[in-house]
Amino acid sequence: MRFIHFASLVLLLSSFAFVGDRPAYRLFTAAGQPADYDQMLTELAQADVVLFGEQHNDALTHWLELQVAKDLQKLKKPGQLVLGMEMFERDVQPLVARYAAGTLADTAFARQARPWSNYHTDYHPLVLFARENKIPVIGTNVPRPFAQAVARGSLKALDKLPAADRALLPPLPLQVDYELPGYKKMAAMFGGDSKAHGAGAQNIIQAQALKDATMAHFIRTSRQDGQTLLHFNGSFHSDNHDGIGAYLRQYAPKLSVRTLSVVTQEQLQQLDKDQLNVADFVIIVPVDASKTY
């Protein structure tokens, strides 16, 4: 019986192991250079706020969110990590806090907190991780009826709200910068300049701005000195450093903010030109990656 030399066997196996390697994702800097995950974590851990721009229905994105949360916790001291989530509205924050603290049952939380339809597959692991590790969870989004009222009747719909409702919103009156890239992109969906295409386009952008400003406001008010607040939101709320980022610069210009954005591409070898500078770190996932809905 012939024996293959061990070194030769290792070389032979390694030659097969990396042929056709298909990574699940690739990480890049804003400039399109390959980025190191551990170096990214070190930078994120030093930030006051991290805006993780996700694809809501991408299974790989949600796995990555959980890994980033777990790894940041290892780099932070107890009490220095906070999770913020677009997926919960401000009026259910008491329920979110009780669940994260372990004083509200799963069934009651699911029944009362109006979680998104993909909560159990995509966000429950994050909230459960926070609960098990005593990490605060902050719901940051505007209650849907207020955004719907603005979409129908402009920001003027908020003028006569009682104090209890205003407590769920950012400071009013709200200023909207229609020149922000994200809002200009929304305007293009209506055929051009939002101001030139009627109140309907303006109202939709104002509703989006209300969501962005609400999230920024409660990110600012929910973190304490020395903490990193890791916030999960749709990438359109933080891409190009606008949206939430623009309102954070308005409300708390001294905060150190870092952004991540998940994008989909046919190829993972390099970042497409139109994705450059979309965030401080850009994660490419395959177009055909598994979707949760």
Residue 8 domain-assigned? Answer: no
Residue 144 domain-assigned? Answer: yes
Q: What is the pLDDT of residues 193-229, one digit of tens each?
A: 645 445 688 999 999 999 999 999 999 999 999 999 9
Residue 165 domain-assigned? Answer: yes
CB 252 within 8 A of CB 236: no
> Domain range for residue 42?
26-286
How many structural domains comprise the chain? 1
Residue 263 domain-assigned? Answer: yes
Res 11: pLDDT: 45
Question: In CATH, what number is assigned to the domain containing residue 247?
Answer: 3.40.50.11550
Q: What is the mean pLDDT of residues 117-131?
A: 96
Q: How confident is the model at residue 16 (pLDDT cuts 50, 70, 90)?
A: very low
- Rg of the chain over all Cα atoms, to the nearest angstrom: 21
Residue 11 domain-assigned? Answer: no
C-beta neighbour count of 254 within 10 angstroms: 6
Q: Give the global pTM.
A: 0.90
Residue 38 domain-assigned? Answer: yes
Q: What is the pLDDT of residues 95-122, one digit of tens each?
A: 999 999 999 999 999 999 999 999 999 9
Quote the CA–CA distance of 90 and 73 in Å, as a whole number: 25
Residue 2 domain-assigned? Answer: no
